[in-house]
Structure 1
């Protein structure tokens, strides 16, 4: 019985994407759950606002610098061992947060958590390039990217429920949140060693004929890319261009994430409570739909540049519009904003993965991700500084939206011809 490439790709999706999605949800929860316990945690261990902000920022600093070397380790040691060990370690460190009962311990664990998680996200992007043909990559990464809005939409109730365990066995609620969510990651890391295959040549879930079809397609695509060294890739201005674009996208993402609950509460004229948390989930549910349909459209048309630019532009305009619209209009604008910022990312990643291969691809993904982490760190600073400078909450939204719009222009500045061909064939 003959098997087609789409059938093999679909089978590979069902094997890998749910697993990758689960890991991403756990990673997002373990890096952000400190925000849910902020108030009680700070009081219980005597942590100042400055130390809390420093710990939150240090995570992104070490995370940024280690993405590229971590991807080289993934390439050297294999996905199963590297991702399995990475997940085990970050899960154990998340558990350790339950025992971080002083400022020094808090800072140390946050730094170590940033080191442990540094290899995960760029590793997942690299993994998609090793398992999926270029024509399917945007929709595949769109499914993977659904992990972030899923974590935001459903992670809040989970973390909130765990915080309600306050006093059980003499421990505060934040202790149980860190320990239980970290333990889930440890279990997922252990499962990785059994479940994940390093490369298509070792795929146990495909038969010999299916493996050959997938390997041949990926090999044909690789042969069309120019060989390039690590240094040639990093020195190339197009990689810097892509890195700066990704930074503007992440500025929009984290300029929204860090402030959405308080912005929704302000729109509703209330404090942050259960009702505002329910309304806050609406933009993330919309983002789920966007990250499913928009990358699929990009794959169907094989148009990356225009789709990514238009989507990011919508996000930038929408977040600015949320500052002047009425209550219902503001919520609609925030839904458009969340949808656009998250749906743009998988379409964007289809561009660099079409240009490079091998070690150069692994390092370039980490390099581009590094800029994203720096802009993630800068996003709340940009928003707050703008609000302070102009004495208006709307100024922060306009600042974040403007950065996103600049990113859309930068995407269009990538010529259609050059953004679709191998890196060194210029």
Structure 2
């Protein structure tokens, strides 16, 4: 009896060792893939987001120089998103036809060139025209990258990878503050141009170089990656086969076509939740310099360095929360907790305290909570839509509706500030929108498992 009991042990140990070795090899492979494509996309997103937040820093000089009201400036900051949204879905659909690297390269080179034009506007009409053109050329970048990453990383690795890409926007704030402060002060009057003009040039031109680099580094998909062996490609494909099987067992599937996506209530719920969460994000990014200045920080160079603090902690929080979400495969309650905490901090910071330290602390808490919600909603969207023939178009549609908040948020806050003389009412409205998005997510985006899967889970827990 003793010998019979001991005989399977070596085989069991061998199997365990073999499984551990496969797991280690798989982790190493995914790390290699991540290091190949994510750093470049991350830097591209940093530059893209610098192009969005630099208008908030330039406001501190540009608005007075060109005599723009808060309402005019808020509309100019937000009008970028109108043309962006109109071309978002067509640009994303072109990605499937042209390939990821050509699409991303085209977008970055064009917006880098047009971004520099902002330095030379002289009136309201030119400001609006350049902001509209920026939206035209940047359209499709974000959903294209989300779709691209979803084609390389399965569900149980997707959240942290998306967060490593999206952490680009708080990092843009981290480096953008000091760079903006330096450009507006250190480069002022160089070549007879104002500091705000140099700000746009310094932060737009790198996009052109990155667009060219994209053509040499990215591969359109797993099959075209010449730096992977066939065995390595099969390991990556197996990850998606396991995800597809899990979704089949749980009766989870996205729309089969763009027409079905446009008739799918969940797609509209995803779009609204994204709209709500991005409204909160732009409430922080567009108005952070103004809020800090109102707290008593008048030195632009100092303001630039202090503005990096919320973005730095926001970046750390995004990755940490997303990593835990991947580990538990739970998204909704992570986003709820982060959004509620961030929303409360946004409410509190809307009341002028006269204390720069308290203002920076509240902005930091708001950034951690609100930035994390954006990663989590895109993890939810990618999990639901991945594998669908309409994935690229559906992701673009969700992002298109969500990015309308980029127009809505700065315009509403700017209009209310012009009407009331304070940011309080505008930030209250944005917090209410954020909390409404959380409610819609909790009620409408519940994961649904099939009866078979639930019975299996019950049997497993009973055993």
Answer whether TM exceeds 0.5 for this pair: yes
In 2: Cα distance, 1:244 partner to 1:392 partner: 27
| Pair 1:303 & 2:333 matched | no
2:364 aligned residue? 335
| Equivalent position to 2:407, from 355, 377, 381 | 377
Partner of 1:177: 199
**In the aligned structure 2, how far is the partner of 1:96 from the partner of 1:266?**
30
Larger C-alpha radius of gyration, 1 or 2?
2
Give me the TM-score of the superposition, normalised by structure 1: 0.89
Where does residue 208 of structure 2 map in the other structure?
186
Question: What is residue 306 of structure 2 aligned with on the other side?
Answer: 279
Match of 1:397 among 419, 423, 427: 427
Query: 1:253-332, aligned counterparts within 5 Å?
Result: 253-267=281-295, 269-271=296-298, 273-323=300-350, 327=355, 328-332=357-361
For 2:382, the equivalent position in structure 1 comes to 353
Query: What is the CA–CA distance in structure 2 between the aligned matches of 1:110 and 1:134, rounded to whole Å?
Result: 36
Distance (whole Å) between structure 1 residues aligned to residue 450 and residue 190 of structure 2 = 57
* Gap runs ≥5 in structure 2: 1-20, 452-463
Cα deviation digits, residues 27-83 of structure 1 (max 9, x gap) = 111233233334554566x56446544432321111122211111111111001111
Provide the rounded CA distance (Å) in 1 between the counterparts of 2:204 and 2:430: 32
2:96 aligns to what? Answer: 75
TM-superposition CA deviations, 1:331-358 (whole Å, max 9, x none): 4332111001111111111112122234
Distance 1:309 1:195, change over 3 A: same
Residue in 2 that maps onto 1:216:
238
Shift of 1:242: 1.0
1:210-235 deviations in whole A, cap 9, x for unaligned?
11210232244346446611110111
Q: 1:35 aligns with which of 41, 56, 60?
A: 56
1:198-213 equivalent positions in 2, closer than 5 A: 198-213=220-235
Q: Secondary structure at the match of 2:226?
A: coil
Partners of 1:111 and 1:174 in 2: how far apart? 19
The verdict on how the C-alpha distance between 1:104 and 1:239 changes in structure 2, with shifts beyond 3 A counting, is same
Q: 2:26 corresponds to which residue? A: 5
Whether 1:63 aligns to 2:84 is yes
Could you tell which deviates more after superposition, 339-348 or 412-421?
Answer: 412-421
Distance 1:352 1:42, change over 3 A: closer
- What is the deviation of 1:298? 0.2
Question: Using the alignment, how far apart are the partners of 2:230 and 2:168 within structure 1?
Answer: 32
Could you say what secondary structure the match of 2:390 adopts? helix
Q: Is the 8 A contact 1:315 1:404 kept in 2?
A: no
Aligned residues: 419
Give ranges in structure 1 of 5+ residues lacking alignment.
422-426
Partner of 2:205, secondary structure, is helix
Q: How does 1:89-168 map to 2 (within 5 A)?
A: 89-101=110-122, 103-163=124-184, 164-168=186-190
Q: Which of 244-253 and 352-361 deviates more?
A: 352-361
Tell which deviates more after alignment, 206-215 or 271-280. 271-280
Deviation string, structure 1 residues 155-187 (Cα, Å, up to 9, x no partner):
122233233323334444444333343321111
CA contact (8 A) 1:318 1:334 kept: yes
Query: Is this contact kept in 1: 2:335–2:373, CA < 8 A?
Result: yes
Q: What secondary structure does 1:197 align onto?
A: coil
Change (3 A) 1:266 1:183: closer
Could you tell me whether the CA contact under 8 Å between 2:119 and 2:198 is conserved in 1? yes
Match of 2:274 among 214, 238, 246: 246
